[in-house]
Amino acid sequence: MAVATDLQKVVEDAAAHLYVWALKDIPQDLRDALAEAAETETSVPGQRVLQTILRNVQVAEDEKNLVCQDTGIAVYYCRVGEHFPLHPARIYEALYDGTERATVEHPLRSNTVHTLTRENTGQNVGYRVPIVHWDFVQGWDGLDVKCVPKGSGSENMSFLKMCTPADGVAGIKRFVLDSIVGAGGKPCPPGIVGVGIGGSADYAMHLAKEAIARPVGTRNPDPLVAELEDELKDLLNETGIGPMGLGGDVTVLQCHIEHADTHMTLNPVAVNYQCWAARRASAHVSADGVVDYDREA
């Protein structure tokens, strides 16, 4: 038990570090995408927004402050090797404790409330919060943890439609376009549009959330899906919504799609938006408790 307890502490420390790190230091792939957007944008308000964003990222670094005040709802993505010596029940406890500790120690604004009473439930933790996505890997003894503090401005711009099979791929594209135009400036564009297709209603949204957590501009390994990612990105940037919805050429930095096979009568499509401050930070934890922090995963 001593080993397991120590490993739990290691994962807790990693979670506490990842949460704050993600909030302060955005990954290089995102910085590059924002810089590229600033080179592309031709509208005056759009250019003003993008230059302010780039300045803000630098100020956050210089002042060691948070990029955005919304410390989000803590979402973790765990890939657990089948031989990793700490059970997921204890991994969850470690993520919970790490989130709580980081919130108290920094201090971070606490956002978590009871859904009905709206009373604050603690230090960014509560019933079923943090939220964890699990993936299990055969023949491996490690653990990957990715922390994505998800802001509410973009999370409020989440949409699901049960298209019919007859709506086809065109129906999927149309729903994504309508969703992003309807969202306008509210989700802090230009960001990453996560799209989940297939599976079931709940799983499509789960996949959309997986999609926003990928490194910016990565492509789905399925070439058909990758082609749709490219096409949708270009279509979305033709809508003219622009940075912060003030009009312009750059409405999205990227479109990422995750898919699952589905029932012959289903064609679910889910959209989960990630704002320009697409914060994420990762760590690899070995079976003997060595933590390797990874800025780009």
Partner 1 sequence: MAQHRVTFPASEDAIRELRAGDEVLVDGHIIGIRDRTQVRIFDQGVAPPMDLNGAFLLHTAPGVRKVADGKYEKVCIGTTTSARMVRFTEPLGRDYGVRAICGKGGLPDEAIEPMKRLGMVYFAIVGGAAALETTQIEEIEEVYWEELMPECLWKFRVKDFGPLTVAIDSHGTSLYHDVQEQAKKRLEDLYARL
- Residue numbers at the binding site for partner 1 (CB under 8 A): 44-45, 48-49, 52-53, 55-57, 59-60, 63, 65-71, 107-109, 151-153, 156, 169-170, 173-174, 177-178, 181, 184-188, 235, 238-242, 244-247, 275-277
Q: How far is the CB of 152 from partner 1 (least distance, A)?
A: 8
- DSSP secondary structure code for residue 126 in this structure: B
Nearer to partner 1, 5 or 51 (CB): 51
Nearer to partner 1, 29 or 70 (CB): 70
Nearer to partner 1, 125 or 285 (CB): 125
Q: How far is the CB of 117 from partner 1 (least distance, A)?
A: 13
Q: How far is the CB of 21 from partner 1 (least distance, A)?
A: 15
Q: How far is the CB of 275 from partner 1 (least distance, A)?
A: 6
Alpha helices in the chain (DSSP H): 2-24, 28-40, 44-63, 88-105, 152-155, 168-183, 201-212, 223-236
Q: For residues 260 and 199, what is the distance between their CA atoms, to the nearest angstrom?
A: 5
Q: For residues 178 and 172, what is the distance between their CA atoms, to the nearest angstrom?
A: 10
Comparing C-alpha atoms, which of 46, 272, 256 is closest to residue 179? 272
How big is the CA angle at 122 (ends 118 and 127), to the nearest 5 degrees?
75
Nearer to partner 1, 10 or 23 (CB): 23
Q: For residues 175 and 165, what is the distance between their CA atoms, to the nearest angstrom?
A: 14
Q: How far is the CB of 62 from partner 1 (least distance, A)?
A: 9
Do residues 157 and 231 make contact, with C-beta atoms less than 8 angstroms apart? no
